[in-house]
């Protein structure tokens, strides 16, 4: 396997980030410098995913400033992903400020960065990456890759589009390929202006519905962890390609 052309994580990066006041959103038991989520009373007009992407586009620098190197729970999760993928190629959806991508590459895999927000793609390209503008709701993912990673991304996908996204991820990986997704755990959906001061839409998920969606889109769950977040609980999932169940049961022969 050729050496990764992407920038590795350096000790200077780690020192810079750990000196910041900011913390990973999923590091439990720490007080947020950004406050609790602010749920807004009226829903913005327009498709929720478009409004959310516009917000990221307008505030990519703010998000970068407020985000940080993965905390212990995310690092352990990415270590597990690296253990499944080896030095294979990972398509990352919603790379954002590329903290995960850089960490994952320090563990072996090569990461292809993408995002639906042009501002993040431009930021990634300016950093020397061949980042692709990719909207998870509508775009073909390409491939085949050894894995697809979407950390804190599919929580912005409307519930009714979730299975379709999982199916396209399934089509984008090799046989035995891996899927790694994290979602916020809970019921229903919500708009919030927390963190960015602009509206973002979140779809919450419970374990049984996630398992059913994965099964229906041809994924076999390898692990599904309930992770205590700083503000809200999360679901950290890994899956491997499996069979799509047939709709009608087979007749006995
Ligand atoms: C909460 S951030 C997570 C960023 C990064 N994965 C991380 O864990 O630090 C959500 C990311 O998903 C991207 N995103 C939101 N909606 C998207 C969509 N429809 N298609 C692709 N990316 C999207 C945002 O631009 C942003 O980079």
* Residue, of 38 and 219, whose pLDDT is higher: 219
Domain count across the chain: 1
Q: Is 25 helix (H, G, I), strand (E, B) or coil?
A: coil
Q: Determine the average pLDDT of the residues in 7-12.
A: 43
Q: Quote the ligand 1 centre to 250 CA distance (angstroms).
A: 40
The pLDDT confidence band at residue 41, using thresholds 50, 70 and 90, is: low
User: 24 in a domain, yes or no?
Assistant: no
> Which of 138, 156, 159, 164 for mutating ligand 1's site (highest number of atoms within 8 Å of CB)?
156
pLDDT value at residue 170: 98
> In this structure, what CATH number is given to the domain that contains residue 85?
3.40.50.150
User: How far is the C-alpha of 132 from the C-alpha of 135, rounded, in Å?
Assistant: 10
The pLDDT confidence band at residue 5, using thresholds 50, 70 and 90, is: very low
Contact 185, 204 (CB under 8 A): yes
For the CA of 139, the closest atom of ligand 1 is: 20
Domain span at 182? 31-241
Q: Is 66 in the pocket of ligand 1 (CB under 6 A)?
A: no
Contact 70, 229 (CB under 8 A): no
pLDDT higher than threshold 60 for residue 94: yes
pLDDT higher than threshold 60 for residue 157: yes
Long-range pairs for 77-83: beta carbons < 8 A, 24 or more residues apart? 77/151, 77/180, 77/182, 77/225, 77/227, 77/236, 78/103, 78/104, 78/107, 79/107, 80/223, 80/238, 81/109, 81/147, 81/149, 81/178, 81/180, 81/238, 82/107, 82/108, 82/109
Q: Whose CA is nearest to atom 12 of ligand 1?
A: 94
User: 3 in a domain, yes or no?
Assistant: no
* Least trusted range by pLDDT, from 38-42, 66-70, 72-76: 38-42
Q: Is 99 in the pocket of ligand 1 (CB under 6 A)?
A: yes
What's the whole-model pTM score?
0.85
CA 77, chain centre distance (Å)? 12
Q: Quote the ligand 1 centre to 86 CA distance (angstroms).
A: 24
Q: Is 50 in the pocket of ligand 1 (CB under 6 A)?
A: no
Q: Determine the average pLDDT of the residues in 168-186.
A: 98
pLDDT value at residue 8: 43
User: 2 in a domain, yes or no?
Assistant: no
pLDDT higher than threshold 80 for residue 23: no
Q: Whose CA is nearest to atom 11 of ligand 1?
A: 94
pLDDT higher than threshold 50 for residue 224: yes
User: How far is the C-alpha of 187 from the C-alpha of 82, rounded, in Å?
Assistant: 30
Query: Does residue 94 come out as left (phi exceeding 0), alpha (psi in the -120 to 50 range) or beta?
Result: left
Show the tokens assigned to 204: 């919450």
Nearest to 239 by CA among 228, 250, 225, 253: 225
User: 111 in a domain, yes or no?
Assistant: yes
Q: Determine the average pLDDT of the residues in 133-137.
A: 98
User: 234 in a domain, yes or no?
Assistant: yes
User: 95 in a domain, yes or no?
Assistant: yes
Show the tokens assigned to 183: 């979602």
User: 1 in a domain, yes or no?
Assistant: no
> Which of 116, 151, 166, 192 for mutating ligand 1's site (highest number of atoms within 8 Å of CB)?
116
Q: Is 49 in the pocket of ligand 1 (CB under 6 A)?
A: yes
pLDDT value at residue 248: 60
User: 11 in a domain, yes or no?
Assistant: no
Q: Is 111 helix (H, G, I), strand (E, B) or coil?
A: strand
* Residue, of 193 and 31, whose pLDDT is higher: 193
The pLDDT confidence band at residue 230, using thresholds 50, 70 and 90, is: confident
User: How far is the C-alpha of 20 from the C-alpha of 173, rounded, in Å?
Assistant: 37
């Amino acid at each position: 396997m050729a050496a990764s052309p992407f920038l590795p994580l350096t000790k200077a990066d780690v020192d810079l980030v750990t000196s910041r006041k900011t913390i990973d959103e999923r590091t439990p038991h720490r007080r947020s410098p950004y406050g609790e989520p602010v749920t807004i009373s009226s829903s913005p007009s327009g498709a929720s995913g478009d409004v959310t992407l516009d917000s990221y586009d307008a505030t990519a620098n703010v998000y970068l400033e407020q985000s940080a190197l993965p905390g212990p729970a995310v690092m352990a999760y990415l270590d597990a992903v690296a253990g499944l993928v080896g030095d294979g190629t990972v398509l990352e959806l919603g790379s954002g400020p590329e903290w995960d991508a850089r960490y994952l590459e320090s563990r072996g895999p090569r990461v292809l960065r993408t995002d639906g927000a042009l501002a993040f793609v431009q930021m990634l390209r300016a950093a020397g990456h061949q980042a692709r503008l990719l909207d998870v709701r509508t775009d073909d993912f390409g491939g085949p890759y050894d894995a697809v990673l979407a950390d804190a991304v599919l929580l912005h996908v409307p519930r009714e589009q979730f299975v379709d996204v999982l199916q396209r991820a399934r089509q984008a990986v090799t046989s035995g390929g891996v899927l790694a997704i994290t979602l916020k755990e809970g019921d229903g959906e919500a708009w919030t202006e927390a963190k960015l001061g602009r509206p973002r839409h979140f779809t919450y998920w419970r374990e049984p519905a996630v398992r059913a969606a994965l099964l229906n889109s041809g994924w076999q769950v390898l692990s599904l962890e309930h992770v205590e977040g700083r503000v809200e609980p999360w679901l950290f999932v890994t899956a491997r390609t499996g069979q799509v169940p047939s709709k009608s049961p087979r007749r006995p022969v």
